[in-house]
Amino acid sequence: MKKSEIKDLICKATAQRQLCRVKLDYDENTWFAFPLITNDKLFLCANEDDFILNGYSIRRFRDVKSAEYQNGKILSMIKAEKLDEGITVPCIDMTDWQTIFTSLKDAGKNIIVENEKAEENSDLFVIGKIIKATKNKVTMQHFDADGIWEDEFYEIPYSKITSVSFGTRYVETFSRYL
């Protein structure tokens, strides 16, 4: 699938609030989402996970290998469960990474920032709060698996980010117990 076709499909899905099945370059699994906001390089989706809305993700168009509308039985079950009616569009300025992180910081959201590309062998997974966003990078304070805030900050170049997640069960539940 050509990148222009992928982008067109996701943009149309945004306008129609259509569930999409997305395949990423670096992941063998398929990801289901309702695209909600797009810009030239990025798109924000409500994540669907086994008939539950599970927060939001922001991803890069360039990482998408293929995308298609999800029709048929799964969509009819989602409609019957009224899952699509529970979707709200978060107030995120999607102009660029800096405005995205500034919006999330202003909202007081703990987030997850990842680089999921195995070939880069970076294992980037930072969960925590945004300290500041500049033109080229975001600075974050991370908490560990015991819910302890680390003293050092992480500076993450935007070029290394494959996804940003917020409002997920994992982030929200962990954040209540910090």
Q: What is the pLDDT of residues 13-33, one digit of tens each?
A: 999 889 999 999 988 889 999
What is the fold, at CATH topology level, of the domain defined by 1-89?
Answer: SH3 type barrels. (2.30.30)
Across the range 109-131, mean pLDDT stands at: 85
Tell me 134's DSSP state: -
Tens digits of per-residue pLDDT, 41-55? Answer: 999 999 999 899 999
The pLDDT tens digits of the residues spanning 74-111 come to: 888 988 999 888 899 999 999 999 999 999 999 998 99
Neighbours of 12 (CB within 10 A): 13
Dihedral of alpha carbons 97, 29, 74, 170, sign: negative
* CA–CA gap between residue 90 and residue 87 (Å, rounded): 9
Domain ranges for the chain, please list them.
Answer: 1-89, 91-178
The answer to whether domain 1-89 and domain 91-178 are alike in fold is: yes
Task: Judge residue 68's burial from the number of C-beta atoms within 10 Å of its C-beta, 0-12 exposed, 13-18 middle, 19 or more buried.
Answer: middle
- DSSP 8-class letter at 94: -
Fold of the domain built from segment(s) 91-178? SH3 type barrels. (2.30.30)
Of the chain, the percentage scoring pLDDT greater than 70 comes to 97
For residue 136, CA distances in Å to 57, 98, 101, 132, 139 come to 20, 8, 11, 11, 10
User: 10 Å Cβ neighbour count for 66?
Assistant: 14
- Write down the pLDDT at residue 28: 87
pLDDT at 119: 62
pLDDT tops 70 at residue 118: no
In 79-118, beta strands by DSSP E? 111-115
